[in-house]
Amino acid sequence: MEAKPSSNLSSKFVDQVVVPGDVILDLSSMANQTIKLGGGLRQDGDSISVMKAGTLRFTKPNKYWVESSHKRYVPCAGDNVLGVVVDTKPENFLVDIRGPALAFLPVLAFEGGTRRNIPKFEVGTLLYVRVVNANTGMNPELSCMDASGKAAEYGVLKEGYMFESSTGLSRMLLSSPPYPVLEALGKKLSFEIAVGINGCFWVNASQSSTVILVGNAIQKSESLSMVQQKIYLEKLLKSIQ
Amino acid sequence: MDQRQANSLIMTVNEKKFIESALLSDIRVDGRRPFDYRNLTIRFGSEDGSSEVQLGHTQVIGFVSAQLIQPYRDRPTEGTFAIYIEFSPMADPSFEAGRPGETAVELGQIVDRGLRESRAIDTESLCVVAGKLVWSIRIDLHIIDNGGNLVDAANIAALAALSTFRRPECTFGGEDGQEVIVNPPDLWEPLPLIIHHLPVAVTFGFIGKENNVVIDPTHYEEAVMGGSMTATLNTNGDICAIQKAGGDGVLQSVIMQCLRIASVKAGDITSKIKNAGSIDVAKYHMERLTLGSDVSTAGHSNMEIGSQSNERDETNKKNTTAKGFSGRPASWDPYSRGVDGDALKASLASRVTAPPDKHIKSSRQVKADVAKSSQRSSDTNSFQEAKKIGLQTDESKTLKDAVKPRQKRRINKSTSNSAAT
């Protein structure tokens, strides 16, 4: 979000649990480098301090953020989320992304979108969208295009069912190497899945029973440890055969 | 405008279509079949008359209290009861604090009708002085989590709370013998309410145009269903109340099918409430003993309610008491001092012991399981002796004497069954 000079040393708090008030970086001792701050961090003059309790994460070359698992989502720019259309206005669609405020999706934010071919979304349409900017106090802005203007999988999700999870589970589902539950299910069943970082995921398959199985298995697996997950999945997949 | 829109549950069109199409293959989103109930857990609080019910994600707390008031003019010999429902804002984003909304009032009326019209609670026994003082029972139900089907959960919470509630015993005293003294519970054993039967509510949801019926809808299913029907019935085969307020029209054959299924489910739920209640009664007695108070007539009347259930329930109790035990023995309760065996034996030695064996047998089954799991097998004998004493001191009561002979015969049958097996 903000660019500031920094050094090559990463903070010694990386991958540890931090609480609001912890200072993770002191910028006064750093050279001319940019660091990127993700969610949960704030710049206070020369120090970077933590706003949200969770685990501090760092990816090369210079991105820091705090990861925690909630049921409620705090919008952040660059996130891919699932949203439900609530209302249509002349300039925007009002979309609920399960955050504190409704988000605006401009009617032209589609690939090849002009005033003549504005899509018609009825109330309750499920969309996969990208958060363009999300400032506190303002309604977040969304887009159905990626940064370069291509459609890139964003848009309406048809059929299927949307399940709720927590933000932590959504992140685990999107991590690489892939989530073991997804891998194990994918080996035996064929289904389509779209994960929104705002605590929901959408599953579609040719049969309703497959959708229900995959969705419930993922939801249940959140509270199980690695070993328990393996056992649970083995039992589940055996019972389908 | 923004906030209120965000508060109500917004369903996607995908979900509505999916729920309906999944029902065509007889499967629901949480993996249940159309006529399966969610897991039901009934727990009791430390006070008499408090219960906590969990039905899937739905949680309801029930609390019963009583107060002496003047009776209504046209019913001078009957007590009263009233139901108060509170929809806590933490249950659902659309619940607001303050006066109950439409759904809250409707829920209260369904639970109230089930209890009042069917005369489940014996209000005549709540009379203390005809025309002057009667007991008024107040049932408070708090919804603390809305996972769907609040009616059933609230009803079960009310029934569970009523079955464990104990009201203080009243005696006449004072100079002229006309003053009513409410005896405190630690001196006089408080009495349970007389409940003739348990009216259980079973809710059905009608989804889609083909009259697909689901039982115990979750709050997602409630958002997409076209109509719902709640049937309140008891295990005697009586329909206490039916509520179908608006919504889609339903064929008569579907309604009859729903009522048949509801009576089966009501039987399940009634036995669950009774099991949970009997375990609580057992714990209640262990606690009364450990506090060193005199065992009195209330012990007998509690066993009465337990033994009035039919033989099937009794074998259920035998089988499920150990499993259903919710893990609340008095051994970890910091306020219970444990039974002092020697002191108890000394105090009992001074009393006459000629027990009616039939009552002991049934109490032994329940108490033995409880005693085992709380690792006090040494105290079981002294406990049973104390039970005998309790059953002895009620010779002076009138109503119970009239009822006793029938019960003895029933318990004879059950014990001969258990002896044969």
Q: In the structure, what pLDDT confidence band is assigned to residue B401 with cuts at 50, 70 and 90?
A: low
Task: Give the contacts of B147 (CB within 8 A, at least 6 positions apart).
Answer: B55, B56, B57, B58, B59, B218, B219
User: How far is B97 from chain A, CA to nearest CA, in Å?
Assistant: 20
Which range (A79-83, A235-239, B275-279, B294-298) has the least confidence?
Answer: B294-298
**% of chain B exceeding 70 in pLDDT:** 66
Per-residue confidence at B385, pLDDT binned at 50, 70, 90? Answer: very low
pLDDT of residue A143: 92
**B13 and A125: CB-CB below 8 Å?**
yes
In angstroms, the separation between the Cα of residue B396 and the nearest Cα of chain A is 58
Determine the Cα angle at B142 with ends B136 and B143, to 5°.
150
Highest mean pLDDT among A17-26, B106-115, B179-188, B339-348: B106-115
In this complex, is the C-beta atom of B16 within 8 Å of any C-beta atom belonging to chain A? yes
A8-67 and A80-156 share one fold: yes
Q: Does the structure show a pLDDT above 80 at B382?
A: no
Enumerate residues 20 to 59 of chain A having a beta carbon within 8 A of any beta carbon in chain B: none
The burial class, CB within 10 Å (0-12 / 13-18 / 19+), for B73 is exposed
Nearest CA in chain A to B3: A101
DSSP B396: G
CATH class of the domain whose range is A161-239: alpha beta
**pLDDT tens per residue across span B239-248:** 999 999 888 8
Predicted pLDDT at B342: 64
Give one DSSP letter per residue of B207-234, joined into a string: ETTTTEEEES--HHHHHH-SEEEEEEE-
Q: Is the Cα torsion angle B105, B106, B109, B110 positive or negative in sign?
A: negative
The residue type of A202 is: W
| Pairs of residues, one from chain A and one from chain B, whose beta carbons lie less than 8 Å apart | 63
pLDDT at position B329 is 46
**CB distance from A60 to chain B under 8 Å?**
no
- B15–A161 CB contact, under 8 Å: yes
- Alpha-carbon torsion angle B268, B326, A217, B57, nearest 10: 70
pLDDT for B404 equals 52
Nearest-neighbour CA in chain B from A203: distance (Å): 11
Q: Is the pLDDT of residue B122 over 50?
A: yes
ipTM of the complex: 0.80
B395 pLDDT higher than 60: no
Q: Give the mutation candidate from A93, A96, A208 for the B interface (greatest B CB count, under 10 A).
A: A208
Average pLDDT of chain A to the nearest whole number? 86
Q: Can you give the pLDDT at residue B318?
A: 42
> For B354, which DSSP code?
-
The predicted pLDDT at position B100 comes to 80
Any chain B CB within 8 A of the CB of A215? yes
CB B358 within 8 A of CB B341: no
pLDDT tens for each residue of B148-160:
899 999 999 999 9
Chain B residues closer than 8 Å to A84 by CB: 10, 12
Has residue A85 got a pLDDT over 90? yes
Give the pLDDT confidence of A193-208 residue by residue, as tens digits: 999 999 999 999 999 9
% of chain B surpassing 90 pLDDT? 35
Q: Decide if A175 touches B, using CB distance below 8 A.
A: no
Domain boundaries, chain A: 8-67, 80-156, 161-239
CB contact under 8 A, B11 and A124: yes
Average pLDDT of chain B is 75
Whole-angstrom distance, CA of residue B151 vs CA of residue B60: 10
d(CA A225, CA A214): 18
What class has domain A80-156?
Answer: mainly beta
- Peptide bond before residue A177 is cis, with ω within 30 degrees of 0: yes
Give how far A219 is from chain B: nearest CA, Å: 10
The mean-pLDDT minimum among A66-75, B62-71, B314-323 falls in B314-323
pLDDT at B338 over 60: no
A57: exposed, middle or buried (Cβ count in 10 Å: 0-12, 13-18, 19+): middle
- DSSP-based three-state secondary structure for B74: coil
Contact B155, B163 (CB under 8 A): no
Residue whose entry in the numeric block shows the structure tokens 């609040």? B150
Question: What whole-number distance in Å separates Cα of residue B241 and Cα of residue B258?
Answer: 14
Cβ pair B14:A122 closer than 8 A? no
Say yes or no to pLDDT of B410 above 70.
Answer: no
Q: Where are the beta strands (DSSP E) in B146-187?
A: 166-167, 170-173, 179-182
Chain B residues with CB inside 8 Å of A215's CB? Answer: 29
Cross-chain residue pair B12–A211, CB shorter than 8 Å: no
Q: Which residues lie across from B44 on neighbouring strands?
A: B51
Decide: B266 and B235 in contact? Cβ < 8 Å.
Answer: yes
Minimum mean pLDDT range among A43-52, A78-87, B141-150: A43-52
Q: What is the mean pLDDT of residues B134-147?
A: 93
State what percent of residues in chain A have pLDDT above 90: 29
Q: Which residues of A touch B10 (CB under 8 A)?
A: 84, 86, 96, 124
* In the predicted structure, residue A84 carries a pLDDT above the cut 90: yes
B84 vs B226: CA distance, rounded Å: 28
First to last CA, chain B: 68
With CA atoms as reference, the chain A residue closest to B23 would be A208
Provide, as residue numbers in chain B, all residues whose Cβ is less than 8 Å from the Cβ of A160.
Answer: 14, 18
Beta strands A92-96 and A141-143, pairing class: unpaired
In tens, the pLDDT along A150-177 reads: 888 899 999 999 998 888 889 888 887 8
Judged by a CB distance cut-off of 8 A, whether residue B22 touches chain A is: yes
Please check whether residue B8 touches A, CB under 8 A.
Answer: no
Q: What is the DSSP string of B260-286?
A: HHHHHHHHHHHHHHHHHHHHHHHHHHH
What is the structure's pLDDT at A179?
87
Q: For the whole model, what pTM was predicted?
A: 0.71
The H-or-E segment that residue A11 falls in is none
- Write out pLDDT tens, residues B49-106: 899 999 999 999 999 999 999 999 998 999 999 999 999 998 988 888 888 888 899 9
Among A157, A162, A208, beta carbon nearest to B22:
A208
A-chain CB neighbours of B25 within 8 Å are 207-209
SS3 category, A196? strand
State in words which class domain A8-67 has: mainly beta
Q: Long-range contacts for A56-60 (Cβ within 8 Å, ≥24 apart)?
A: A56/A11, A56/A13, A56/A14, A56/A15, A56/A16, A56/A18, A56/A24, A57/A14, A57/A15, A58/A10, A58/A11, A58/A14, A58/A15
Q: What is the pLDDT of residues B174-225, one digit of tens each?
A: 777 677 788 877 788 888 899 999 999 999 999 988 778 999 999 899 988 8
Contact B276, B44 (CB under 8 A): yes
Average pLDDT score over residue span B270-290: 79
Q: Report the amino acid identity of residue A112.
A: G
Contact of A208 with chain B, judged by CB distance below 8 Å, is answered with yes
